[in-house]
Structure 1
Amino acid sequence: MEAAPPLFSFGVVADVQYADAEDGYDFSGCQRRYYRQSLTLLRNAVEAWVAERPPLNFVLQLGDSIDGLNARRGESEGALARVLAVLRRLPVPVHHAWGNHELYNFSRARLAASGLSSRPAGAAAGPPAGACHAYHFSPALPFRVVLLDAYELSTLGREPDSPRYRQSLRLLREKNPNDNLNSPAGLQEPQFVEFNGGFGQAQLDWFNEVLKLSDENQEKVIVTGHLPIHPDASDGVSLAWDYQDALSVMHSHQCVVCFLAGHLHLGGYCLDSHGIHHLTLEGVIETPPESNAFGTIYVYKDKMILKGRGRVSDRVMHF
């Protein structure tokens, strides 16, 4: 008997961090970064997704589409235009998480008016409408996808005289006394560095209400955002500031099956105590030119199957 087809399928890619620049290294000087080559790898991913049969329903771009290097070189707009031109070859919607590198290049207001503002018509926006890049949609019954804004609390991309900037800086300085706010040295909560951010209470309250409705409607929910929210799917530093609060919200409901993130270029995975799969996707930016780092996820009523390419491993995630 022929196996049942998936209910829907979607592409996943993280941390392209494109810049028209020679190769460099990460902050530790250990991991090589292929700035220019990352656009070629994204093209390869798009070509593979376009060839998928049956066609994909959408693609998730998990944040950091262009590198902060572009801001210093005055090339932010051009770099983003080149990345979006590649993604526009897809015949399906692309949903964009916002990461720290988007916010090194652009203000939140500019992102909201850019091609990275991906809330589809009819999708329910997060709080308060227009300010928070969070929304949810249903690709197929009984599933829902929730995209969270992991930098709603952040100093990045905000005017220094804005209330949210001051609130975020105050919280950061309370938790991180280091002169360099990007250093986790000596911190009890090492996620409190400036290149991370938080969801904030208003967004988590909204998220809780979304999950409450999904419980009532017996839906299964896939959650996504740039920052991981489980230490076992991360390195202990690359986490949302308020990851424990986000986990508490998810664990108070029955409906969440998976959390997809980027940010940590080495990737990560764990199945948590409540049966939620936490998948942190490997970053394109640190992928050698002869390899790749993307995947396609096929969703069935009882599982998700990840078909990975290059550095991204195949994985079966049962509900």
Structure 2
Amino acid sequence: MTRRIFVIMICLPVFFLQAAFAQKPVKPLFSFGLISDVQYADAETIGKRNYRNSPAKLEKTLEILNAYDLSFIVNLGDLIDRGFENFDKPLKILERSRFPIHHVWGNHDFAVTDDQKKSVGKKLGNEAGYYSFEEAGFVFIVLNGLDFSMEGHPQGSVAYNKAVRVMETLTSAGANNAKPWNGGIGDDQLTWFLAQVKNAGEKGKRAVVFCHYPLLPENGLQLLNNRQLLSALDETQDVVAWFSGHHHEGNYVRDGRGIHHVTFQGMVEATTQALGAVISVYPDKIIVHGIGHEEDRVLEIVNSE
């Protein structure tokens, strides 16, 4: 072996090591924070639900989120467990956020008197219950899973009575989600939602959905008309993920369409000092960095090229 060849063979590994170290980590397009099911109430603990300890966990979680460079924070619903007066404490804590906060409607947010239900949306800064916003090529869709529900509307109202009828039909069919704490998305909102997704796809953008209720898995806590929405989503490949709360233990399903259904764990039952997630969005994937015992996940985006 000549000296020249020997020198080249020795130097090659060094060259590749230098090249590897020279590569800079790929930065996300943007990141956002996420919390779910704080469910604060000035009430005694029931089972795993430590209502009075939620503000302390919320403060710690917000402290962690504020240390990041985020575009926004999403609360996936159930900021309170019950009682309109209980909104003040968690909302006061969230005023310290360095970033805008998007509040999704949850069923416990409407565990107030019938005459107060109409004031919940205004209190949360989300009067319509559903809307969309954009960030770096992604369309984020906030949905109101309580369009028709028993908890979200005064007893005897049109939306309340529709929920009763839907649950009677589901019960007859043997469905496991015919429960008063579940809700559904009405036809007008569904039409709006599908138009948002179609418009995103036509513009080469991808959609991410925030809804208090999951679509999958069908464990009894899914949206009342989850199958109607799943059928509607068969027509599109532009929804990347459906982020939900409601089921405090959390869950994950990737369906045949490639949609990631992520249910985030409920803060009210957290056994860690903080609970939530930082979500980093890339062109080809979404990475969930769990806070506390929330799981880390890598969600690949199909057809991302």
TM-score normalised according to structure 2 size:
0.86
Equivalent of residue 150 in structure 1, options 136, 145, 152: 145
Superposition misfits of 4+ residues, deviation over 6 angstroms? none
For the 8 Å contact 1:291–1:311, the answer to whether it is kept is no
Q: Does 1:21 align with 2:30?
A: no
2:133 maps to amino acid: F
Map Cα deviations across residues 17-51 of structure 1 (whole Å, 9 max, x no partner): 111233222xxxxxx11111111111011101111
Q: Secondary structure at the match of 2:141?
A: strand
Does the 8 A contact of 1:176 with 1:193 survive in 2? Answer: no
Map 1:266-305 → 2, pairs under 5 A: 266-288=249-271, 290-305=272-287
State the partner residue of 1:47.
Answer: 63
Alignment partners' CA distance in 2, 1:19 and 1:159? 21
Q: Deviations over 1:138-193 (max 9, x none)?
A: 022x111001100101122323343222222222234347xxxxxxxxx6111111
Contact between 1:154 and 1:197, CA under 8 Å: does it hold in 2?
Answer: yes
Residue 170 (1) aligns with residue 156 (2): no
Structure 1: how far apart are the matches of 2:154 and 2:254? Answer: 38
Alignment root-mean-square deviation, CA: 1.6
Deviations 1:212-245 (A, max 9, x none): 11111011111110000012xx6x1000001111
Tell me the distance in 1 between the aligned counterparts of 2:290 and 2:152.
Answer: 32
Computing the radius of gyration from Cα coordinates, the structure with the larger value is: 2
> Residue 39 of structure 1 aligns to which amino acid in structure 2?
P
Tell whether 2:235 aligns with 1:252: yes
1:104 to 99, 108, 111: 111
Matches within 5 A, 1:107-256: 107-114=116-123, 116-118=124-126, 132-140=128-136, 142-176=137-171, 188-231=174-217, 236-256=219-239
Aligned residue among 69, 74, 84 for 1:60: 74
Unmatched 5+ stretches in structure 2: 1-22
Higher share of residues assigned helix = 2
Gaps of 5+ in 1: 26-31, 119-129, 178-186
Could you tell me which amino acid in structure 1 is paired with residue 184 of structure 2?
G
Which AA in structure 2 matches 1:82? Answer: K
TM-score scaled by structure 1? 0.83
Q: Which residue of 2 aligns with 1:181?
A: none
SS at the partner of 2:213?
coil
Deviation at 1:4, TM superposition (A): 2.6
For this pair of structures, how many residues does the alignment match?
A: 277
